[in-house]
Chains A and B, each alone.
Chain A
Amino acid sequence: MNTPLTEDATKQSLFPSRNPLHLTIGILFITTLLVTLGNLIFPETSAFHVSDYTVSLLGKYLCYALLALAVDLVWGYCGILSLGHGAFFTLGGYAMGMYLMRQIGDRGVYGNPELPDFMVFLNLTELPWFWAGSDSIVWMVCMVFLGPGLLAFIFGSLAFRSRVSGVYLSIMTQAMTYALMLAFFRNEMGFGGNNGLTDFKEIFGFSLQSPNTKLGLFIATAVILALAYCLCHFIVKSKMGRVVTAIRDAESRVRFVGYKPEHYKVWIFVVSAMLAGLAGALYVPQVGIINPGEFSPLNSIEMVIWVAVGGRNSLYGAIIGAILVSYAKTRFTAIMPEAWLFALGGLFVLVTLLLPKGIAGLMSSIKQKFSKTPTTTQANS
């Protein structure tokens, strides 16, 4: 079997005999099981008890992990450094938020069964056209994928066809999310302006306040993350994925060989945007709010650092990075809030200078040192 050069790092991971796919899914499954048991069976006084707060926090981390997977897919495997993935994430979040907003029904402050509170507040008499159908689950699921996917398709096909790449593309994606942030801050957009969408009551008929719903959302996120991981793994291993990797390493050569790199790039960009949108949709019911602040360029860059810390080039690295950095953020902001930006900034500098392959790369090099086996880097036989 041909082993592509870039798969080397994943193959030579801590457990060389095991497939990282099985390992990751296994760990994810066990964690989810333990958390569920800890939350449901053990009483609050027990040391094994997992509080509701922890459950929703973990759920949030898993959303971030899914998002990191999306970023890794384009950056690690296709070399497109997107500084605008926050836009796709937030758009997916808004699609879910709109659905949840409509589920409030007449329980809002103004008690209008048709219109969400902020529209009544803005003196609207009927739903704007783009809110039509937003109370159906099918519409919501479609929009979670369609919104980010369409934006990514338009943006990607414009950018990649005119061969905008590298730093220019990064800055343009940043400009894109910045423009969206400015736009969504306006009340006239019809998405709640500054305050965004919030005060959700229930999802699919389950109250969002109840601990069981929170646990359910956590489990759902874990399952979806596992599925997404399988999907990404499949994409990366497929023939298409290998063309994509080749584009990352030598775009001109791929073009000369006869492929159309822009098609592959658009395709992987759209898939990644949809995954990011899905992450956003899972994120919103767990935190209970979506507002334009999520579009801010800083958020998008934080996603990139998750992947950088975990190690681009490896899918499980992205998940590790997202969870670790988010955990560090939670701890830091609780203990000494001022220090967080110092830590994050330092992380950026140190990781790029000292750990260019991230934690995953570090693990594989440690593994290599211990086993003292020379790496078999055969590109093609």
Chain B
Amino acid sequence: MHRIFSLLLLLSISGQGYAITTDLADDASPKLSLVVNQLPKTKLRNMASLIEQISQSQEPQTRDILQFMLDGELYFLKANKQVVRAQNTATKLYQLTDVLTEQSLFEVKKSSISKIKTNNRLRSTLRSIIAKIDLTNKNKQVRLQAVQQLLSSPSKASTAIITELIGNEQDQDVQALMSTTLSLQQLKTGDIDEKIAALTQLSGSLEPTVKNEIIRLLANLPDKELSTKQQNLRELLSSTLDEIESQASFYGAVETVFFGLSLGSVLLLAAIGLAITFGVMGVINMAHGEMIMLGAYTTYVIQLAFPSMIEYSLLIAVPAAFIVSGSVGILIERGVIRFLKGRPLETLLATFGISLILQQLVRTIFSPLNRQVISPEWMSGSWQINPIFSLTFNRLYIIIFSIFVFISLLTILKKTSLGLHVRAVSQNRDMARALSIKSNRVDAITFGLGSGIAGVAGVVLSQLTNVGPNLGQAYIIDSFLVVVFGGVGNLWGTLVAAMSLGLTNKFLEPLTGSVLANIIVLVGLVLFIQKRPKGLFPQKGRSTD
């Protein structure tokens, strides 16, 4: 009766419902536009049933409309009673969106629209209706999120919804989370027996809310004159808490290892090019850091040149950076370093000069400010393994990528004829030349290879830090220390050194803070090199200085 009455009213006002009335007659679920358009006229006390009607429509916009109402963004135009979503803009005007068609409308002043009112009771109804809609969504992620939402703000209504839906739930993850929510509610509100039962259910759950609830319960238990049951409960509570905490500290350690490995991979990438130029060729290249910087800027330029292909920019940038840094490296070798053969200290100074020139060049071309390199979609986000432990994709990819680079480099040095020549020249230049190896050509190519890999490291670093003229300087000392620590001329040593430095740094960090951790690692390395000047894995040989 009520519906028909309001329907008549509606017809008389808007006149757009003629065709719809017939639909309404043979369809059990009400047409969304009809019920929504009743919102402006409905009294607050009748609103609950109207919301119920809205929720029954199966339209895709239903959830959004309810959400807007919950968020207080649902208004109607005073002029024609059209229901709109109104968002406050910077200009103090309200941007309107048609809730049914989701089209942007015009901007109006506050005075020409009026809010569709809600109260607390309605809001909680809205919340549970939205939760219900989400919990029946086809997408697993949406369902998981909805349960998470309920878990963080448990209430009687949410318990009811979950109890209703848990039977229909197909997915194991969602179901597990649902039963955690139920158990948590039971733990909160049940009597002692129920609490104990809930606790056995909850053991092993890593949700932060569960932990907080256990801590709260423990604090609320009276200190003295506990009954046996209370005693039991307390023991159970503290043992569950212990279990949660030991799990948490385990995952914390795993996370630190992960961070350490990812820092180690960055160090490895930065140092491995140096391991070739310094370690294998014996040429000290202070401009190595600038090769890294050039790689990072190459990424920036590529993103600038192809703004529509951000997703693939890194894939283009890796070979491009290799070519850019590699050719600059070959230029440096041909132009400067080859004249300084056998004078390591002079080489050090000259390449340092080159690094200053390159830095200033970049500063002049790109300005001294940091440049923003965009992370593609697939690099962001994380892999959520459990509520307290997740691995970010960018770090994961970097670890994989650096190992890939390491293996390819190892293959080049061990399996190709170029690698054979490089090793021959590095072991005994004169003998290699006598065997008709063109040592000059090998030098240039090796230097290009090392520099090119530094460029690739720059692409990776552009995803982690700011791209600026000083990018390279931050890594040069670390890279040298990694190479020296690992043992010159030994790629495996470089790998071990980079990873162990990364891990040490990350394990020290929570104890000492990041700066002090850095200092401790530096001092430790300096002391280590005093003890073993040839590094972890010294090259065997009989040569002396």
Secondary structure call for the B interface: helix
Give the size category of B's interface with A: 35 or more
Could you tell me the distance between the alpha carbons of A349 and B350 in the complex, rounded to whole angstroms?
4
Q: B530: CB under 8 A from chain A?
A: yes
The proximity string for A residues 155-174 relative to B, scoring 1 for CB distances below 8 Å and 0 otherwise, is 10011011111111011101
> Which residues on B sit within 8 Å (CB–CB) of A182?
515, 518-519, 522
Q: Is B525 an interface residue (CB 8 A)?
A: yes
**Residue in B363, B484, B519, B544 whose beta carbon sits within 8 Å of that of A338 in the complex:** B363
Question: Across the two chains, which residue of chain A brings its CB closest to B286?
Answer: A301
Chain B residue with Cβ nearest A158:
B530
A345 at the interface (CB under 8 A from B): yes
Q: Mark B315-358, 1 if CB is under 8 A from A, else 0.
A: 00000000000000000000010011000111111101111110
CB distance from A11 to the nearest CB of B (A): 24
Q: Across the interface, do A183 and B519 meet the contact criterion of CB distance under 8 Å?
A: yes
In the complex, chain B residues whose CB is within 8 Å of the CB of A342: 356-357, 360-361
Please measure, in the bound complex, the distance between the C-alpha atom of A347 and the C-alpha atom of B344, giving whole angstroms.
18
| List of B residues within 8 angstroms of A356 by Cβ | 346
Given the interface pairs A176-B526, A178-B477, the reply to whether A166 lies near B344 with Cβ below 8 Å is yes
Residues A167 and B531 in contact in the complex (CB < 8 Å), given A179-B522, A348-B353 = no
| A353 interfacial by beta-carbon distance below 8 Å | yes
Let me know if A344 and B353 touch, CB within 8 A. Answer: yes
CB <8 Å contact, A297 and B477: yes
Q: Mark B58-95, 1 if CB is under 8 A from A, else 0.
A: 00000000000000000000000000000000000000
Q: Is the CB of A175 within 8 A of B515?
A: no
Contact status A252-B544, CB under 8 Å? yes
A344 touches B515 (CB 8 A): no
Set A159, A351, A352: member contacting B530, Cβ < 8 A: A159
B300 is an interface residue with CB less than 8 A from chain A: no
Contact flag A338-B360 (CB < 8 Å), given A252-B544, A305-B349? yes
Q: Does B491 contact A (CB under 8 A)?
A: no
Nearest residue (CB) in B for A75 is: B345
Write the A81-112 contact mask toward B (1 if CB under 8 angstroms, else 0). 10000000000000000000000000000000
Instruction: Output the nearest chain B residue to A177 by Cβ-Cβ distance.
Output: B477
Q: Is A186 an interface residue (CB 8 A)?
A: yes
Write out, one digit per residue, whether chain B residues 365-379 have a CB within 8 A of any chain A CB (1) or not (0).
000000000000000
Is there an interface contact between B349 and A304, defined as CB atoms closer than 8 Å? yes
Interface string of A287-331 (1 = CB under 8 A from B): 000000000010001001100100000000000000000000000
Contact (Cβ within 8 A) A348 B356? yes
Chain A residues near B44 (CB, 8 Å)? none
Q: Shortest distance in angstroms between A308's beta carbon and chain B's nearest beta carbon?
A: 6
Whether B345 contacts A81 by the Cβ 8 Å rule is yes
* CB atoms of B340 and A353 under 8 A apart: yes
A349 touches B344 (CB 8 A): no
Which partner residue on chain B sits nearest A341 by CB separation?
B360
**Partner pick for A163 among B344, B355, B363, B533, CB 8 A cutoff:** B533
List of B residues within 8 angstroms of A164 by Cβ: 529-530, 533
Task: Find chain A residues with CB under 8 A from B364 CB.
Answer: 338
Q: Closest approach, in angstroms, between the C-beta of A272 and any C-beta of chain B?
A: 16
Residue B527, interface by CB 8 Å: yes
| Contact, CB under 8 Å: B516 / A349 | no
A8 within 8 A of B: no
- Interface of A (DSSP majority class): helix
Choose from B350, B515, B516 the contact partner of A352 (Cβ within 8 Å).
Answer: B350
Is A251's CB within 8 Å of the partner chain B? yes
List, in ascending order, chain A residues with CB within 8 A of B515's CB: 182-183, 185-186
Q: Which of A338-362 contact B (CB under 8 A)?
A: 338, 341-342, 344-349, 351-353, 356
A175 to B522, CA, bound (A): 7
Given A338-B364, A356-B346; A251-B545 close (CB under 8 Å)? yes
Q: Is the CB of B357 within 8 A of A341?
A: yes
- C-alpha gap A158/B533 in the complex (Å): 11
Mask of B521-538 contacts with A, CB within 8 angstroms, 1/0 = 011011101110100000
Which residues of chain A come closer than 8 Å to B281, judged between CB atoms?
Answer: none
Chain A residues closer than 8 Å to B359, beta-carbon distance: 341
Partner of B349, one of A185, A308, A341: A308
Closest 7 CB pairs of A and B: A348-B353, A345-B356, A345-B357, A341-B360, A179-B522, A345-B353, A158-B530
Question: B residues bordering A, Cβ < 8 Å?
Answer: 284, 336, 339-340, 344-350, 352-357, 359-361, 363-364, 477, 480-481, 484, 515-516, 518-519, 522-523, 525-527, 529-531, 533, 544-545
26 pairs, A vs B, C-beta closer than 8 Å: A162-B530, A162-B531, A165-B545, A168-B484, A171-B481, A172-B526, A175-B525, A176-B526, A179-B526, A252-B544, A252-B545, A304-B349, A305-B349, A308-B349, A341-B357, A342-B356, A342-B357, A344-B353, A345-B356, A345-B360, A348-B356, A349-B336, A352-B340, A352-B346, A353-B339, A353-B340
